[in-house]
Structure 1
Amino acid sequence: ETSVDFVAIMSTRYILSLFTCLLALTAISSSNAAPNGRVVGGADAAVGQFPHQVSLQRSDGSHTCGASIISETFIVTAAHCVVVGEGIEPYPPRFYQVRVGSIQRTIGGQLLKLKRIIVNKAYGDFHNDIALLELEKPLVFTKNIQPIELAEEEVPSGENVIISGWGRLSTNGPIPHRLQWNTLKALNAQECNEAIEMGYDSVICLAHNPDHGTCFGDSGGPATYKGKLVGLASFVYGGCGTTNPDGYAKVAYLREWIRANTGV
């Protein structure tokens, strides 16, 4: 089994190209970028530690991306997890399912089908990398299935931010069955720009030591600060677990778009 998600890798300081996710979501192609995915250098999550965490899967059950519950009917993930090619049109909802309420990506919790996928129309070149997944049936919340509050404010530089996901343990490493998590450090826009020239309003950069961070399979997954969702895994620069910070879509910047499309 292989993960078909990608936290897109930028191989130079410039944004090059996004990966093209094929119709069956079974292959990835690119020109100058490379795929990437799990939480590198992380630890096993405990049952109930991340009740908002979602595994976005192909209809055959293979894990594709991470995501987060934000209400009884809506889940949020990265746009690049669900769009056709480099555009903004999503694949049909029937191509996907989500597993909620489990720290195992293949068993436990509940499997649910999607009714609709909404992609931010301003998505492109790693900006506004967000999509909403509307469920066919509302969730019933339990201790292991809970929504996460959305951040309204910036994360101060140097603060600890928690990430979680089922991405690869290294660029070409294995894919964990159990949810992983790690702690990274928030950078402000100036620090992000100095590090990887991605100091944009729509991006939050998270710094880490070598052999830590995000990787293949983590895309769309949560970054949290003080119990609120502050970011969605979007890209890495140069590979998984390098000394470069990882890029996340900034929830505070996208907050009004989420509210306008979900009422949340």
Structure 2
Amino acid sequence: MAFLQFLVFLAVTFVAVTANPTGRVVGGYDAVSAQFPHQISLRFQHRHTCGGSIIASNYILTAAHCVVETGTTPYAAEYFTIRAGTHNRIAGGVIVQVKRVVVHQGYVVENDLALLELEEHLTFSSKIQAIPLASAEVPSGAEVIISGWGLTENKGDTLPILMQWNTVTALSKSQCFRKILMSSDALLCLDHPSGAGACNGDSGGPATYNGELVGVAGFVVIGCGTSRPDGYAKVFYNLEWIHENMI
């Protein structure tokens, strides 16, 4: 019973890496122009709330919790736009209206994915590119790159202008379970030292390995920048769902 109570406590201390977007990747570095041409800023009523990745000229992959109103029901697409083609959160690039929002039907903590169909196709350039989806599992111990405009610290209150990025380490299922008492085929566990990792405002943003999109930012445990690994939705596990829902 004590073990179950601990799991309940752990569950309620998850912090979704979304909403109240006030900061950047914890312990990150300034990105430069065209360094992450697949990364977009997802905007709710014209305000940055989450990240996302261009996976086709008219499709973005992001986190379900960035777009849902209740359960798996999303807000109307008209509330969302994306800014693409810039590492600057407030200037440059292009802003495109979202046409359709599709939330993963199995979304709870796992399967935290949503597809956004755009009103118009993006024009690819050096600053706007689709990223290939994961073609295999990420090996344990592999260095993975994360990026976004999320908090720099657990209780920060200022959004960065420039996108931030950092390097984290993929864990095996058993390693993940030992650290946060969670493991799943659908979960990519990314480890980092204290003072690094994803945070509020990074949700939905990419984790990349060997130039492929391997994860979508989902949650942190206890708070941002702790020594506990962060949880990302595993792209490789969800390839079938992604392809089936891209019309």
Answer yes or no: same fold by TM over 0.5.
yes
Residues 227-247 of structure 1, C-alpha deviations (whole Å, 9 max, x = no match): 000000000011000010000
Match of 2:42 among 56, 73, 81: 56
Q: Which amino acid aligns with 1:172?
A: K
Report deviation, 1:36.
Answer: 8.9
2:19–2:66 contact (8 Å) kept in structure 1: no
The residue type paired with residue 145 of structure 1 is I
* Contact 1:36/1:239 (8 A) holds in 2: no
1:60-104 CA-to-partner distances (Å, cap 9, x unmatched) read: x2110000000011000000000013x001000111110000101
Question: Which residue in 2 is equivalent to 1:7?
Answer: none
| TM-superposition CA deviations, 1:195-222 (whole Å, max 9, x none) | 1012111110000011000001000000
1:236 pairs with 209, 217, 220, which one?
220
Q: Name the SS of the counterpart of 1:14 in structure 2.
A: helix
1:16 match? 12
Q: Take 1:129 and 1:229, find their aligned partners in 2: how far apart are those partners?
A: 15
Separation in 2, partners of 1:42, 1:56: 20
Displacement of 1:194 after TM fit? 0.8
SS at match of 1:262: coil
Do the aligned partners of residues 37 and 122 (structure 1) sit closer, same or farther apart at CA in structure 2, a change above 3 Å counting? farther
Equivalence for 1:160: 143
In 1, Cα distance between the equivalents of 2:137 and 2:126? Answer: 28
Of the candidates 120, 125, 132, which is equivalent to residue 142 of structure 1? 125
Counterpart CA distance in 1 for 2:23 and 2:104 is: 22
In structure 2, the gaps of 5 or more residues are 1-5
Measured at CA, do residues 45 and 227 of structure 1 come closer, stay the same or move farther in structure 2, by a change above 3 Å?
Answer: same
Relative to the length of structure 2, the TM-score reads 0.92
Q: What root-mean-square deviation, in Å, do the aligned CA atoms of Structure 1 and Structure 2 show?
A: 2.2
Residue 231 of structure 1 contacts residue 249 of structure 1 at CA under 8 Å; is this kept in 2? Answer: yes
User: 2:69 aligns to what SS in structure 1?
Assistant: coil
Distance 1:210 1:19 in 2: 16
Aligned length: 240
1:154–1:229 Cα change, 3 Å: same
Q: Residue 121 in 1 paired to residue 127 in 2?
A: no
Q: Give the fraction of aligned pairs with identical amino acids, expressed as a percent.
A: 50
Alignment of 1:167-246 (within 5 A): 167-173=150-156, 174-246=158-230
